[in-house]
Amino acid sequence: MTADRMSRSARLRWTTASELLRLVHAEPGITRTAACERLSLASGAATELIERLRGARLLAEHRAERGGRGRPTTVLGAHPRGPLAAVVDLRAAGWRVLLGGLDGVLTETAAGSYGDREPAGFLPEVAGAVAAAVRREPGRVGAVVAAVAGAVSGTRLLQFSTRGWHEADLGVLGSGAGVPLLVGNDATLGGIAEARGGAARGARAALHLLVAVGIGGALLVDGRPVIGARGAGGEYGHLPLGDPDLACPCGARGCWDLMVDGRALARHRGDPAPADPFAYGRDVLDAVRSGTAPARDRRAVERTARALGAGIAGLVNLHDPDAVTIAGLAPDLRAAAPDAFADAYRGGLMAFHRADPPPVADAARGADGPVQGALALGVDEITGPAALARWGG
């Protein structure tokens, strides 16, 4: 009982600190005055708290540039020796390990390729790189977060279709670090980055969609993804919005996945299935956007853009988001056939959405969205009251 009460009082002692540190991460360059206003902190309490966090190597304070009138203030930022999260990026093209903290800056510490190996073959090498990154910054790394370009549940990989991998345990990635391991799908993590600090910032319900090989995404409510009972939700690409005669590698038929990416463009152009659908799609879209492509290619792009726009309209009817963000190949696909996309999007909306449809914005974080989202989850972990109590005593 005593231990519980102590941990509860320690938690309470760090609750406001946790809110302040998360605000400093969410709004880089925030002034002390603005942060205190946002948290309704009285000046005496703020002085005590900020002194305590500076002393605990959790926060730094710099003089603000004098801009306009008003009392001089300071800017709050990450402490140069503050807590960090390690991010493991498992993309189709290869892996990398990065370190980042409250300032949102990620530094790559290691990278490599998979070769012909299955996960069991290369995961120990990646885990070794994570452990090396943790040793490089003794005592500072409080979480490991893996961003995975595949379907995941808990710390298990379910399917990584671009490589043909099936189930694998990713738990080994955190085993040498001795800190909590979190695993997220890349589209879900990209959505977190957009909802918290990107193009969907401030949205109550944000829909994020990533076209790479197929399409994945997430619905985010107040910046948190709705991921289902086992964490495997958001597989929008496997809704039956496609051709019912086409079999999808996932095991289902008629998946939307097959209609919106490089595989769709190849079918419409009469090409065989491309070995690298992402690169193939990027090349076709570049040619169409530069105006050098033949009419056949423009029609292929228009059909694909229509399939994307119509499907997004269906998801808007389903979820009623107030913001939609698109990433990966989707912004280029829309830009290559803007009228076809807009026509299909509008035409697929229920009438009551048409007066004020949610804007579809290009993602602000680009290709780094998934690792930025992973860092945001890592910062949630290292700024939790319990983690701060362990760090600051």
Phi, psi at residue 53, to the nearest 5°? -70, -35
- Sites for Zn ion among residues 13-42 (CB under 5 A): none
Identify which of residues 194 and 257 has a Cβ nearer to Zn ion in the complex.
257
* Tokens coding 291: 């105006």
Identify which of residues 213 and 219 has a Cβ nearer to Zn ion in the complex.
213
Using the rule CB under 5 A, is 238 a contact of Zn ion? yes
**CB distance 381 to 146 below 8 Å:** no
Identify which of residues 266 and 293 has a Cβ nearer to Zn ion in the complex.
266
Instruction: For residue 165, give the DSSP letter.
Output: B
Nearest residue to Zn ion by CB is 248
Residue 249: CB minimum distance to Zn ion, A: 7
Residue 64: CB minimum distance to Zn ion, A: 52
Question: How far is CA 356 from its chain centroid?
Answer: 27
Using the rule CB under 5 A, is 252 a contact of Zn ion? yes
**Selection from 319, 309, 315 nearest residue 204 by Cα:** 319
Indicate the SS3 state at residue 121: helix
* Tokens coding 314: 């269906």
Residue 238: CB minimum distance to Zn ion, A: 4
Burial readout 149-165 (b: 16 or more C-beta within 10 A, e: otherwise): bbbbbebbbbbbbbbeb
Question: Which one of 239, 250, 287, 342 is in contact with Zn ion (CB under 5 A)?
Answer: 250
- Sites for Zn ion among residues 269-328 (CB under 5 A): none
SS (H, E, C) 296-324: HHHHHHHHHHHHHHHHHHHHHHHHCCCEE
Number of residues counted as binding Zn ion (CB under 5 A): 5
Using the rule CB under 5 A, is 213 a contact of Zn ion? no
Residue 132: CB minimum distance to Zn ion, A: 38
Using the rule CB under 5 A, is 255 a contact of Zn ion? yes
Distance of alpha carbon 379 from alpha carbon 368, whole angstroms: 16
Q: Which stretch binds Zn ion (CB under 5 A): 237-245, 267-275, 284-292, 299-307?
A: 237-245
Using the rule CB under 5 A, is 239 a contact of Zn ion? no
Identify which of residues 236 and 278 has a Cβ nearer to Zn ion in the complex.
236
Q: Which stretch binds Zn ion (CB under 5 A): 14-22, 143-151, 241-249, 366-374?
A: 241-249
Question: Which one of 248, 284, 337, 388 is in contact with Zn ion (CB under 5 A)?
Answer: 248
Residue 60: CB minimum distance to Zn ion, A: 48
Q: Using CA of residue 385, residue 386, residue 392, residue 393, what is the dihedral sign?
A: positive
Distance of alpha carbon 6 from alpha carbon 116, whole angstroms: 52
Using the rule CB under 5 A, is 263 a contact of Zn ion? no
Single-letter code of the amino acid located at 141: V
Identify which of residues 214 and 378 has a Cβ nearer to Zn ion in the complex.
214
- Sites for Zn ion among residues 325-364 (CB under 5 A): none
Q: Which stretch binds Zn ion (CB under 5 A): 137-145, 224-232, 246-254, 384-392?
A: 246-254
Single-letter code of the amino acid located at 210: L
- Sites for Zn ion among residues 367-386 (CB under 5 A): none
Identify which of residues 64 and 239 has a Cβ nearer to Zn ion in the complex.
239
Distance of alpha carbon 343 from alpha carbon 361, whole angstroms: 16
Q: Using CA of residue 72, residue 64, residue 365, residue 100, what is the dihedral sign?
A: negative
Using the rule CB under 5 A, is 129 a contact of Zn ion? no
Identify which of residues 212 and 248 has a Cβ nearer to Zn ion in the complex.
248
Residue 316: CB minimum distance to Zn ion, A: 21
Q: How far is CA 258 from CA 79, 185, 243, 337, in A?
A: 47, 19, 8, 18
Identify which of residues 188 and 383 has a Cβ nearer to Zn ion in the complex.
188
Q: Which stretch binds Zn ion (CB under 5 A): 51-59, 60-68, 107-115, 254-262?
A: 254-262
Distance of alpha carbon 44 from alpha carbon 385, whole angstroms: 21
Q: How far is CA 36 from CA 19, 52, 74, 211, 363, in A?
A: 11, 15, 11, 40, 30
Give the interface with Zn ion as residue ranges (CB under 5 A).
238, 248, 250, 252, 255
